[in-house]
Amino acid sequence: MSFGISLFYYRRQARTSAARPFGMNMNPAPADPAAAKTDEPFFTAPLVVIFVIVFIDLVGFGMIIPILPFYAETEPFRATPFEIGLLFSVYSWMQFFFSPVLGKLSDRYGRRPILFISLLGSAVGYLVIGVAGTLAMVFIGRVISGVTGANISTAQAYIADVTTKENRAKGMGLFGAAFGLGFILGPAIAGILSKYSVQLPFYCAAVLSLVSAAAVYFLLPESLTARTGRETVKRGTIATAVDLFSQRSFAFINLIYFLLIASFSIMTYAFVLYTGFRFGYNAEQNGYLFAFVGLVSVIAQGVLFGRLVHRFGESRLTAVGCFLMASSLFLIPLVGPAAGGLAALLGICVLLSFGNALASPSLTSLASKVSHEDVQGSSLGVMQSGASLARAIGPMLGGVLLNNAIDKVDELTLYRTFWTASAIMVVAMLAALYFMGTYRRELHA
């Protein structure tokens, strides 16, 4: 009911501002935007709308993760474990190059047009993969999806625009909850659809991206104020990135985030092949497993994270999250049908999801807080670009580690893959502990 009231209010406001340009804010810029946002409630209409849009889009994205390895292994593709790793990697390479570009463009022209165009592109990418007849066409579809999927930073910048600094962590936690919800429904839907056709999930993902694009066009108000848009520093993407990384706190946050994403992406790539080899699970069963992981993520980020961050702070939650992830990644290859079975696997998935749900939004919130208001899109774009580089390197490294001499998965390759991911998270945890001390000293300086 409250969501419907919010949309009604927004539509009434939108009709009074219909003459304004596509990329401009619907309301005049306040003299002091930070002060103007202080008294606003957390669940504003724009925040609810962007949450729904991100959720719909991520349902489509979530459908791809568990189905892509099985799809690539079928005729006529017959991809090896290394080639499947490259399929995951090329998507992230494109995000690496284009996340800061889209973030910079969103600072200049507004969040809304960038989100709209990129969602249309995502639909095209999914469609190309679905109709592909060769492995090269699947790679082309992944390239298109990667370029347009670089809009994550724009959506995060939108949340930063419509929340106060006090509510920023809660807003990023809500964004993470949208990811979790997408990974509940997406993999489950993909598992069901795969029984009818292995291409069907890709077509469905394309339709969902089109629905998200329509929601952006018809429902989403622009969050970037006219004043902020004019004041955005007109510098190149590389120069902006250099300026941001010259800030010690921002650079350290990005290092931890890079290590976290690299480790997690190794797991994401290897998990489906691990469950197939060790448990004999197919696409449908893996879809349900990913849905369970998403459910845990939603509970952790949507319900618990806001309360925990208020009590302990982002830096502490980052260190604890890294520890939980390192522990769970170490335990995964020790589990099998005769060693704990499904119950143990689900328990480890809870630890992994909860750790990621604590660390990821904490780091995003910290990056937003240490960045100037006028470069939120650029700073989060640079951060997501680094995360995309980690997602590109992770599956490539995983592809090498998981692939044996005859292009297959075996017991040894499973251990070395997941334990390498665990070791990376141990380094991230140590870096987070060091940052926790330095960040507190800076706050009290």
The residue-averaged pLDDT of 201-213 equals: 90
CATH of 44-219+236-443, one of 1.20.1250.20, 3.40.50.300, 3.40.1350.10, 3.90.1150.10: 1.20.1250.20
Of the listed ranges 93-107, 158-172, 277-291, 410-424, the least confidently predicted one is: 158-172
* Beta carbons of 290 and 183 less than 8 angstroms apart: yes
C-alpha distances (whole Å) from 136 to each of 60, 68, 84, 237 are: 22, 14, 12, 30
How does residue 328 score in pLDDT terms, banded at 50, 70 and 90? very high
Q: Could you state, in order of their start, the residue ranges of all structural domains in the chain?
A: 44-219+236-443
The residue-averaged pLDDT of 405-434 equals: 90
pTM value is: 0.67
Q: According to DSSP H, which parts of 32-80 are helical? A: 33-37, 45-73
pLDDT, residue 406, reads 73
pLDDT, residue 42, reads 65
How does residue 442 score in pLDDT terms, banded at 50, 70 and 90? low
Q: Could you read off the pLDDT of 300-322 as tens digits, one per residue? A: 877 788 788 888 888 899 999 99
Res. 424: pLDDT tops 80: yes
Res. 185: pLDDT tops 60: yes
**Rounded distance between C-alpha atoms, residue 259 and residue 385, angstroms:** 13
Nearest to 419 by CA among 263, 265, 293, 290: 263
The chain-wide mean pLDDT, for the chain, equals 79
The residue-averaged pLDDT of 407-435 equals: 91
Backbone region of residue 78 per phi and psi (left: phi > 0; alpha: psi in -120 to 50; beta: other values): left
Q: Which residue has the higher pLDDT, 159 or 425?
A: 425
Res. 14: pLDDT tops 60: no
Res. 272: pLDDT tops 70: yes
Q: Which residue has the higher pLDDT, 283 or 39?
A: 283
Secondary structure (3-state) at 247: coil
Rounded percentage of the chain residues whose pLDDT exceeds 70? 80
The residue-averaged pLDDT of 129-157 equals: 88
